[in-house]
Amino acid sequence: MTAALHPGRLLARRYRLLDQLGVGGMSVIWRAHDEVLDRLVALKVLAPSLAADARFRHLVREEARAAAQLVHPHVTSVHDYGETVAADGAITSFVVMELLTGEELELRLTEGPLPWAEAVDVAAQVADALAAAHRLGIVHRDITPANVMMTPAGAKVLDFGIAARVGTPDEDEDGATFGTPAYVAPERLDGAPAQPATDVYSLGVLLYAALTGRVPYPADTWEQVGAALAAGRPPSLAGVPGLPAEVARTALRCLARDPAARPTAREVAAVLREHLPHRDPRPVTTAPRPAAPAGAPPRRRVPRATLVPAGLAVAVAVAVPALPLDRTAPPQSSPARTTAAPAVVGTPAPDGPARTAAPSGVEPPDAAPTGLVAAAFRLDGLIDAGLTAGEIRSDVGVDLRNELRNLSASATGGREDLAPPVARLREKVAVRLREGAISPVYAERLDSAIAALGTARL
């Protein structure tokens, strides 16, 4: 039962609950420690009333399976699904997900629209994620800024909780519980089966909102959606300074009333990337929010109950870093929003043979700081620079940052012996070097920075 969930409880003999990250109408999200693989994860624990329903548990399990197939740099990873039964027969059902650090696009947009290049870059990443899902026959059905996280590894699409297979009938024809009205395609109001074009419409709304700071057809209810579509004038992006005409045309094509007139997600990604400025090879960046003090409420806004996805299977919470990087440490270079530790949000480097050219803008190993926070900051900066230069493969960068997060958790958790996690991290670098996933130059610098972590003081 929910009351029995508390920090320290072990679920499925594996996942140790640490603290709550968020509470929704149908679930509670926990930060947890996977004691088998020794890593931090996010657990979405379903409400007892839903977990008691065998049909609903089956639905959640199937949704988790679908999302777990999406191994993509811009899709949140799903690791596991589990159930436990208490002595009184109460069932605890949960989904285990990648723990992310970053900021929701929705929160970022509260500051106003994005510069057009940044908006287009983020939308291209989301389009890539949707194209991958559509190739597997999966439709997300709830693409909104609240379901896009800006993370150090790039934009991540969250919450496949109401995802469906292509062609699946829409059993909730009035849309009373599924989706966010202003982002829902018109055909969903008529109960049309799930189709990729539905996601493309939502992607068009997301891009329009990122460019202008508003949605094309404002609506908070399904009745307002219908009225806005019937009475509203066709949207325009003419007022966005500098926006290429072809990008504007593609965005508006996504908003076509006829699903057949919309481009595919793959086509959208190709057009957006083609028109991104080439003067700066680095991806768009955003700075993670500072770590919240212990006991502070989660920053993630909980949607209204009528808009909470029914499945709630694989959403992910905003994770607060266990060891926040020193904000006074020398920052790495970044073309945008450098108020905190550098964090790349963009297209990871493509897989392929590692290059051996010397990286630029990287401190020599003997410049490593002695403080643990500063040493962690420097290592994170090296990973950031390696991803940007294409010297570290994108999935390897994510893995290394997860290990760094676990190591920092060990430090702040009072475990004085950091030798085992440091040795494990160094071994990973060596293995990835042999695989060609890290260039020799960066492998040497990463190893030096990791060694500095083992001798640094907290």
DSSP 66-87: HHHT---TTB--EEEEEEEE-T
Kindly state the DSSP code that residue 324 receives in the 8-state scheme.
-
pLDDT of the chain along its 458 residues, tens only? Answer: 444 788 999 999 999 999 988 776 577 889 999 999 999 999 988 888 778 888 878 877 877 777 787 788 898 888 888 898 888 888 888 989 888 888 889 999 999 999 999 999 999 999 999 999 999 888 888 899 988 999 887 899 987 655 555 545 555 544 444 568 889 888 877 777 778 999 999 999 999 999 999 999 888 887 787 787 777 677 899 989 999 999 999 999 999 999 999 999 999 999 999 999 864 444 444 444 444 444 444 443 333 322 223 333 333 333 333 344 333 333 333 333 333 333 333 333 333 433 333 333 343 444 334 467 778 878 888 898 888 888 898 778 888 888 887 777 666 555 456 777 888 888 889 888 887 889 988 888 998 888 887 776 55
- Amino acid identity for residue 25 in this structure: G
Q: What's the rounded Cα separation, in Å, for the pair 160 and 184?
A: 15
Bridge partner list, 40: 33
Q: Is 44 annotated as a binding residue?
A: yes
Active site residues: 142
The model's pLDDT over 167-201, given as tens digits with 9 standing for 90+, comes to 455 555 444 445 688 898 888 777 777 789 999 99
* Distance separating alpha carbons of residues 152 and 287, to the nearest angstrom: 8
Nearest-angstrom CA–CA distance, 61 and 232: 40
Distance of CA 65 to the CA centre of its chain: 18
Could you state, in order of their start, the residue ranges of all structural domains in the chain? 8-97, 103-274, 348-455
Q: How far apart are CA 388 and CA 378, in angstroms?
A: 15
Whole-model pTM: value is 0.58
User: Which neighbouring-strand residues pair with 10?
Assistant: 16
Ordered strands of the 27-34 beta sheet: 10-11, 15-23, 27-34, 39-46, 91-97, 78-85
Q: Tell which CATH classification among 3.30.200.20, 3.40.50.720, 3.40.50.300, 3.40.605.10 matches the domain 8-97.
A: 3.30.200.20
Q: Does domain 103-274 have CATH number 1.10.510.10?
A: yes
Tokens of 164: 């469906």
> Burial letters for 348-360: b for 16+ Cβ neighbours within 10 Å, e otherwise?
bbeeeebeeeebe
What DSSP line would sit under 11-49, residue for residue?
ETTTEEEEEEEEE-SSEEEEEEEETTTTEEEEEEEEPHH
Q: What percent of the chain has pLDDT over 90?
A: 28
Terminal C-alpha separation, the chain:
38
Q: At 331, which amino acid appears? A: P
